[in-house]
Amino acid sequence: MKKLLTYLTAYRKESIIAPLFKMLEATFELFVPLVMAQIIDVGIARGEDGISYILTRGGVLILLAIIGLTCSLIAQYFAAKAAVGMATGIRSALYRHIHSLTYTELDKVGTSTLVTRMTADINQVQNGVNLFLRLFLRSPFIVAGAVIMAFRIDRKISAIFLLATLGLSIVVFGVMKLSVPMHAAVQKQLDRVVLSTRENLTGVRVIRAFNRQQEEKSRYEENNTLLRKLQLKVGNVSALMNPITYVIVNFAIVAIIHQGGIAVNTGRITQGEVVALVNYMSQILVELVKLANLIVTLTKAMACGKRISDSLEIEPSLPLADHPIDAREIARAWEEGSGNVTEGKATRSSQDIAVSMKNASLKYAGASAQSLSKMNLTFHRGETIGVIGSTGCGKSSLIQLIPRFYDVEEGVVEVLGHDVKEYDLRSLREIIGVVPQKAVLFRGTIRDNLLWGKKDATEEELWEALDVAQARDFVEGKEKGLDSWISQGGNNLSGGQKQRLTIARAVISKTPILILDDSSSALDYATEKKLRESLSHLSHHPTLILVSQRASTVRHADQIVVLDDGLLSGVGTHEELMETCEVYQEIVHSQKEQ
């Protein structure tokens, strides 16, 4: 939590003004019972002659109310400004930090957890800071001030105040001590409910396809019921506070009235002062309850703050080079080098090696076995590489090593003649175009999404990329063309349209290495064939890596990589593999491809 408080330093002025004006409000509030006592003892005691006095003192009460309201509004404004500003800073820092994390850390932490940190946890910290700035001085000041005022009126009766305040404190803080651990348990269970909700929302199509609605509802109800039970439990404990405190206060008020009545009869105090003592007792009750709520809120905020701090302290697991190489400069030199490209195929010289893997092995964090083992592969400039295998054999894992989304456990991965670990990570990924397995589009226009590939792309370049991706027809068919709106995640497009736009977005960047990770699975065979032909005739002749489960997608590749359960089963052309690789033969025969 201390680390998060550094984001409050930019709001020092607001953090000082807010509690000070709350103190002023509390000071004026302490004078109200004394003015009421004067109205009773002087104004009402005079009868009709005291009306002007009552009106005058009534005006004083109104003035105190106006001043108190003004102080309260000023305090509320500055407290809210400081709290919201701090939350904004934390949220921005956490957002930037999440983008610096590797896939390994994201896999460990989980998306739902990070979403909770970004939303509910930061909001809880914001509420805690807001309440703290408003009450951390006011409530103790009111309690202490009310007790002091009671001593000024009558020392004997003020003993009741001390006993009542002690009793109220024991109850309030006792309830708080019991409820705080329960609030932490509620927060953890809330994480599970959020996770279950997110899984159901993101996987709703799969759930319906397999008719698993009832099972998922039951799982959600189970988590939600447990959350409800925990909340009811903590609610029942917290609910004890009001009745017990009011019993103590009412007994104290009865004692004050009783002792006050005796003191009034003996002339030690006045009737108005008895009323003032009762008002001070009510003020103590209200402020102690506020203080307890403040402490509970602060406890929640500190728990949430620790979770946020833990997220901010996660270090990316990919080690960075002390003097990283700019991959863009290497790419420019590589493209201008001695290698010659003819009809999209590279000469097989060592200078033209785009990607090289030497005994590369990958093991995911927490996994018991390697996902990839001893990969020895070489991809040349301008070649079309096919990667094929059954589901879960490691196809996506293999290509994720190239842009260094994951690091190898053993061995080396080289891009353009250099170990990927030697590159500046940002520049490395700028020279590798990747179309992920899941087509992801962002809310905005088609133009906005395509410009992710190249910010300064011209209109001609945009349409050229759409031609390559076989997306021109459906884009031209839309009323606004490139300026047609895409909803979040591309939900207003079909699966094939989304895939073609993501391919166009990658093509427009004209990177020397282009990876398509099963990104044509939603296309029909005719459209996919046209797409392959267009990709093979790209003017900049990239090294094209096609990942697919379809044999028809990779059969015309210059080199086909066959994976089987994380192992390299075969490498060669379609004809070579049909003679030498049993796994490839099974895939082809199962798809009736000859």
One domain, residues 292 and 412: no
- Say how many C-beta atoms besides its own lie within 10 A of residue 237's C-beta: 16
pLDDT of residue 342: 44
Which residues have CB under 8 Å from 320's CB, separation 6+?
A: 425
Give the domain-ending residue among 510, 527, 544. 510
**Angle subtended at Cα 312 by Cα 117 and Cα 300, rounded to the nearest 5 degrees:** 45
Buried b (16+ CB within 10 A) or exposed e, 48-69: eebeebbeebeeeeeebeeebe
One domain, residues 276 and 369: no
One domain, residues 383 and 457: no
One domain, residues 381 and 484: no
Q: What H or E segment, with its residue span, contains residue 384?
A: strand 384-389
One domain, residues 251 and 399: no
* Residue 539 included in any domain: yes
* C-alpha to C-alpha distance for 39 and 49, rounded to whole angstroms: 12
Which structural domain, as residue segments, surrounds residue 342?
327-431+511-590
* Residue 31 included in any domain: yes
Are 154 and 37 in contact by the 8 Å Cβ rule? The answer is: no
Q: How many domains does the chain have?
A: 3
Nearest residue to 559 via CA among 568, 548, 570: 570
One domain, residues 239 and 194: yes
One domain, residues 526 and 421: yes
pLDDT of residue 340: 45
One domain, residues 427 and 300: no
Q: In this structure, what CATH number is given to the domain that contains residue 276?
A: 1.20.1560.10
One domain, residues 146 and 213: yes
Nearest residue to 187 via CA among 129, 131, 124, 236: 124
Angle, helix 459-468 to helix 525-536, in steps of 10 degrees: 130
> What's 421's DSSP letter?
G
Tens digit of each residue's pLDDT, the chain (594 residues): 678 888 898 899 999 999 999 999 999 988 888 888 888 888 888 777 778 888 998 999 999 999 999 999 999 999 999 999 999 999 999 999 998 888 888 888 877 778 888 888 899 999 999 999 998 888 888 888 888 888 888 888 888 888 888 888 888 778 778 877 887 788 778 878 877 887 888 788 888 888 988 988 998 999 999 999 998 988 888 788 778 888 888 888 888 888 888 888 888 888 888 888 888 888 887 887 788 778 778 878 887 888 899 889 888 878 787 788 888 888 888 877 644 444 444 445 556 889 999 999 998 887 888 899 999 999 998 899 999 988 888 899 999 999 999 999 899 999 998 999 999 988 999 999 999 888 889 999 999 999 998 898 999 999 999 999 999 998 998 888 899 999 888 888 888 899 999 999 999 999 999 999 988 888 888 888 899 889 988 888 899 999 998 888 898 899 999 999 889 999 999 999 999 999 999 989 888 644
CA 61 to chain centre: 48
Identify the residue whose tokens are 């009745």: 243
pLDDT of residue 350: 58
Give the domain-ending residue among 471, 491, 510. 510
Tokens of 195: 């996770």
* Residue 497 included in any domain: yes
- Say how many C-beta atoms besides its own lie within 10 A of residue 195's C-beta: 17
Q: Distance from first CA to last CA of the chain, Å, rounded?
A: 64
One domain, residues 297 and 400: no
* Residue 116 included in any domain: yes
One domain, residues 374 and 236: no
Say if pTM beats, i.e. exceeds, 0.85: no
pLDDT of residue 13: 93
pLDDT of residue 159: 86
Q: In this structure, what CATH number is given to the domain that contains residue 416?
A: 3.40.50.300
Are 141 and 21 in contact by the 8 Å Cβ rule? The answer is: no
Which residues have CB under 8 Å from 5's CB, separation 6+?
A: none
